Chain A
Amino acid sequence: MSVTEGDRVRPGARPRPVRSLYAGNARAVMSRGWRATRSTNWLVMLSGFFEPIFYLLAMGIGLGTLVGTVITASGREVEYAAFIAPALLAVAAMNGAIYDSTWNVFFKMQFAKLYEGMLSTSLGPLDVALGEILLALLRGALYAVGFQLVMQVLGLNLSWWALLALPAVLLIAFGFASLGMAITSYMKTFQQMDWINFVMLPMFLFSATFYPLTVYPVWLQQVIQALPLWHGVELVRGLTTGDVGWGMLWHVLYYAVMIAIGLVFTTRRLRVLFLD
C-alpha cells in the first residue's frame, strides 16, 4: 500500500537504524517536563527536598548528641551528624531522581499517553528516555545542591573534596533515574508500583546510612553492597569526610553500568510499547 507515492520526500543518504532510535532532540522532552513542573507540581517538589533535611536534623543533631562519634569504614572517627549527612545527601539525589522517573513516568505512560504522542513525532525512544531521565536527574541534583548547602551551614563538609560530591551526586541521580525509568516502563499496575516503595525504604534505612556496615554479619554486608544506594553513600561519604581512595572508582563504575543498563532497557521497552 502506498500513501502519496508521487510526492517524494528527500530521503537521507542511507537508512541508519540509530536514527530511528535517536533524533538528537532530548532537549525538547526536557523542556516539556520543565514547563509541566513549573505550572503544576512544584509543591510536590518541595516536599521531597525537605525530607532528608528533617532526617538530618532529627537523627544527626538530635540523636547525634547521644551517639557522639562514629568510626567510618576506613577507621576515621567523625561526628555522628557528619557521618549520616553524606548518606542523606545521596538519598536526596536518589529520592529526587526516583520520584520523577517512577511515579511520574508511570502516570505519563499509562494514563496521559504522553509518550505515544511524543513518539508519533520525529522523536525517537532514546530522545524520550534520555529527556525524561535527565529531567529526573536535574531534580535529584536540585535536592542535592540544597542539601549540601545545609550541610555547609551546619559545618558537616569536612574536606575540600566535598566539592566533588556534587558531580558524584549527579552520577547517583542519573543512575537511579535511568534504572527507575527502565523498571517503571515494565510496570502495568499500581500494585506493581508499590513494590518499588517496598524496596526503596529498607534500602534507605539499611545501606550504611545511619551506622557503619560493620554492624552486620558478612553475608548481609554482601547483600547491602550489591545494592546501589550503598555505593552512593560510600562515594559521597568518602568525599565529604575527605576520606578519599582509588577504591572509590568502583562505586563510579557501578553507577556507570547502572546508567547504561537503564538507558538500554528503557529505550528498548519504549520501542516495543509504542513503535512496534
Chain B
Amino acid sequence: MKRYGGFAAVDGISFEVAPGESFGLLGPNGAGKSTTMRMVGAVSTRTAGELSILGLDPDAYGPEIRSQLGVVPQSDNLDTELRVRENLLVYGRYFGLPGRLVAKRADELLAFAQLEDKGKAKVDSLSGGMKRRLTIARALINDPRVLLLDEPTTGLDPQARHILWDRLFRLKEQGTTLLLTTHYMDEAEQLCDRLVVVDTGTIMAEGTPAELIRRYSSREVLEVRFGSDRNSEVAKRLEGIGDRMEVLPDRILVYSRDGEAELVRITEAGLHPITSLVRRSSLEDVFLRLTGRSLIE
C-alpha cells in the first residue's frame, strides 16, 4: 500500500511472480501501476503491507535488490549528454561493474537492440523506437534477474512495437522474469503469462489472458451498428440474443459463443444492421468490462 497524504495510490494490490514468469499489470491511467512498479523497483517505500523482491525486503536491502533489477521507466531517461554506447558503459559503471565486462556487454546489447551501427550516434538523433530499445538494452547491462517495464511501447508506431515485442519475447525465452505494465491489451496478450487488472489502486481480476477472457467475456463478440440514433431503440428488440449485450452510442456489442449465429438471428428478426463484425473476444473486452467505459482522469 502506498499513500500520498490522504490519497492511497495503491491500496491492497497483492500478487506473486515466479522466476522466469512474465507478469503484467493492466489498468487505465492513474490506476496505480507505476506506483506499484516504483515500489517493486525499490525506489519508493510502501506505507503499509508486505513486499518481498528476490526474497528481500526493499526497505532493508534497496541497493542489493536494485543491483539485480533492470528498469525501463515510462518515459525514457537516457543520458542525452552522452552517445549511445556511452549510455550503456556509464550505466554499467553505476552498478560498480568492471569496465572491461561492461564494454563487452555493451557491444552484445547494442547487437541485441539492433543498434550496432548507432553506437557513436547522439541519443537525440534516435527515433522513438530506437530510444526505447536503447533503454531496454541499458536496463539489461547488469544482467538482471527481473526486468521491470513500465508501458514499454506507449507512443511507438506499429513497426517499432513489433520489433520491441520480438526482443522482449526473446528475453522471456531466455528465462528473464518480466514484470510489465501496459494499457495495450494486444501487448498483454503477446507478452504476459499471467496478469492482474488494476483500477483505482486495487486488483479487479487475476489470471492468464485466456482465463480472463473466458471468465469475463465470451468466445466471440458481434458488433452491429444501426446508426447512432437508432442503436438504443433497436437494442430493446434484441433482448435475449447472445449471453450479454452492451449498448454503446455508436454500436451494439453482443457477447456470445457463436457470433455468426447471433447475426443470423438478428436478421431473421427483421433487423438489418448497417455494418456487422464478428471477432474473437479479446482482453480489451475484459478490461473495459472491469474498469468501465467512462473516461477516467
List the interface of chain A (C-beta within 8 A of B).
Answer: 1-9, 11-12, 15, 19-20, 23-25, 27-29, 31-32, 35-36, 39-41, 112-114, 116-124, 274-276
Contact of A11 among B17, B64, B67, B86 (CB under 8 A): B64
**Docked-complex contact B16 and A39, CB < 8 angstroms:** no
Q: List, in ascending order, chain B residues with CB within 8 A of A124's CB.
A: 63
Q: Which residues of A have CB within 8 Å of B67?
A: 121-122
Q: List 21 A-B contacts (CB under 8 A).
A: A1-B13, A2-B16, A2-B50, A2-B53, A4-B145, A4-B177, A5-B18, A9-B61, A9-B65, A11-B55, A12-B61, A19-B63, A35-B90, A117-B91, A121-B67, A122-B63, A122-B64, A122-B94, A122-B95, A275-B45, A275-B62
Q: B17 and A4: CB pair below 8 A?
A: yes
Cross-chain contact B52 with A3 (CB below 8 angstroms): yes
Number of A-B residue pairs with CB-CB distance less than 8 Å in the complex they form: 146
Query: Which size bracket describes the interface of B in this complex?
Result: 35 or more
Whether the pair A276, B45 counts as a contact (CB closer than 8 A) is yes
- CB distance A36 to B40 under 8 Å? no
Across the interface, name the chain A residue whose C-beta is closest to B57.
Answer: A15
Contacts of B43 in A (CB 8 A): 119-120, 274-275
Q: How far is the CA of A25 from the CA of B91 in the complex (A)?
A: 12
CB of B93 closer than 8 Å to a CB of A: yes
B interface residues with partner A (beta carbon < 8 Å): 13-19, 21, 40-41, 43-45, 49-57, 60-69, 71, 73, 75, 77-83, 86, 90-91, 93-96, 142, 145-146, 177, 179
Q: Is A32 within 8 A of B145, CB to CB?
A: no
- The answer to whether A1 touches B14 (Cβ under 8 A) is yes
Task: A1-B14, A40-B81 are known; give 14 further A-B pairs, CB within 8 A.
Answer: A1-B16, A2-B17, A2-B51, A3-B40, A4-B146, A5-B18, A9-B55, A9-B61, A9-B65, A15-B57, A112-B77, A113-B75, A114-B79, A117-B78
Name, among A20, A118, A274, the residue most crowded by chain B CB atoms within 10 Å (CB to CB). A20
Q: Complex: how many Å from CA A9 to CA B206?
A: 27
Chain A residue numbers with a CB within 8 Å of B71 are: 120
Closest 6 CB pairs of A and B: A15-B60, A36-B81, A8-B55, A113-B77, A121-B94, A122-B67
Residues of chain A within 8 A (CB-CB) of B65 are 9
- Contacts known (A32-B79, A120-B43); A5 close to B93, Cβ less than 8 A: no
Contacting residue for A23 out of B61, B73, B96, CB 8 A: B96
Instruction: Tell me which residues across on chain A come within 8 A of B56, comparing CB atoms.
Output: 8-9, 11
Closest Cβ of chain B to A153, distance in Å, is 34
CB-based nearest B residue for A36:
B81
Q: A8-B55, A9-B56, A122-B96 are in contact. Are A112 and B177 (CB under 8 A)?
A: no
Supposing A1-B15, A113-B75, A116-B73 touch, asked if A123 and B94 sit within 8 A by C-beta, the answer is: yes
Contacting pair A8 B54 (CB below 8 A): yes
CB distance from A175 to the nearest CB of B (A): 26
User: B18, A36: Cβ atoms under 8 Å?
Assistant: no
